[in-house]
Structure 1
Amino acid sequence: MSVRATARVVATRDGLPVLESDGPLALRRTRATGPCTRVTVVGAMSAPLGGDRLAIEAEVREGARLAVDSAAATIALPGRTPEQARYDVRLTVGEHAELRWLPEQLISAYGSDLRMRTRVELAATARLVLREEQILGRYGEQPGSLTTRLTVHRAGRPLLDQELGYGPGATGGWDGGAVLGGHRAVGQLLIVDPAFEEKPAEPRLLGETAALTPLAGPALLVTVVAPDARELRRVLDEVLHTELPA
């Protein structure tokens, strides 16, 4: 039987007036080490499976600061039905608010079929740090079919809209030299901050398989392919520690 579930969190300057778990998506307020209120997503059961419809909605209202992470990697698995699973993330960040969206990796297991979409709406003075990491197959196995789309609007205008596809359901060439080149870990880090209006990030290569690109927004995007999850996280963490405006 497929699962339908939507978890919601709303952050204000005074706390978390909404913290709603649903199905396999359990939200827990956890101890923070910085200025942001912290929420951790805890998987209450195996998901997403074939046919599941999962969603997380996070709203950070004016002046609030929220960090969302997860307790473990999310594993897309085949289900009893061949129907595609869907996982939607909807994020809204208000004026002078900040969201740090830093989940653990998404692992595309052999035989799975998942479409994941992340939609972000930012106010003009909002700040965002968003990390996405995909691991294509568990150790020693081929990946499932995975399609991800990230759409970001700032002050009502498009900032970023990209779609990526991997595995048997993707168009030809996804594993070739022009895309992954045989690597099985891929990720990106998006930082949106008004501070980049006065001092944009400098474009540069970060080794042989990673690049930092400034966006008109103001924002920067780091894209990385790596042989494994550990190397992928190392590169993304290094950028996060050096490029995040004070």
Structure 2
Amino acid sequence: MQPNDKGIDRSVVEAWIRHERRRLALDPQFLQKNFAKRIILDLTAIPIVIEGDEELAVVAIVMDTASGLILGDCFGTIDDAAELQLVATRIALAFVEDMRPGLSYDYTGYPDLDLILPPSRDAINPPASLLAASRSLEIRAPGTYAYGQQIVQTVGPKIGRIPLAPRKTLSVQREKFARSRKVADLDPIEASAFWQREALRHNEPILLALEKAGLLRADRPNENLEALLFALAEFLASLPDI
């Protein structure tokens, strides 16, 4: 990558920022103050090819940006992106509800929410319920260079051992990429299981850091994260089919 006008290599700066975010994600005080403060819903391609399909698989991910914890995810194909985002959000809601007796953190306000719409969806005015459940709300329009960027900025270019391919999520060249650089050609069940193993691998040290920070205890549960995810799921379910 060429240096910018000030002679600073942007890739070096971005790598340093990711390093600092990973460092902070292990800091107990930072986690206590910032866990569940900002939530993202993003979509990215990954170099796995489902057997019989020439395109890259994609995953929808709901993530806490302070810790990098994957709250919910769903694996599939780009044609089902809207459903993947909805399922990932519902999984995140179920995860938070299951963890509720043990989740306790200092931030008790409504979370910020950053989400990107599924392909072929135009900009849309958010419903009052979603606005009420979020401190700030950013809904981004779909685009080749929009998908996956929030995930990469938060946790870097990999989930577990699987590299992310965000710029190939909508790229017209994704079929060529899939033929030449695929990680695995698996049947749907094996492909999904492969992704789930790496998502768990990603989450394991984060859950340990949350436990060390004292965030997995039984007092003072925060219901605002649940309210946000519930409103988000309702919003996604209301989007018209394309």
Range class of TM-score, shorter chain? under 0.3
TM-score (norm: length of structure 1): 0.27
Q: In proportion to residue count, which structure has more helix? A: 2
The one of the two structures with greater contact order (alpha-carbon pairs below 8 A, sep at least 6) is 2
TM-score (norm: length of structure 2): 0.27
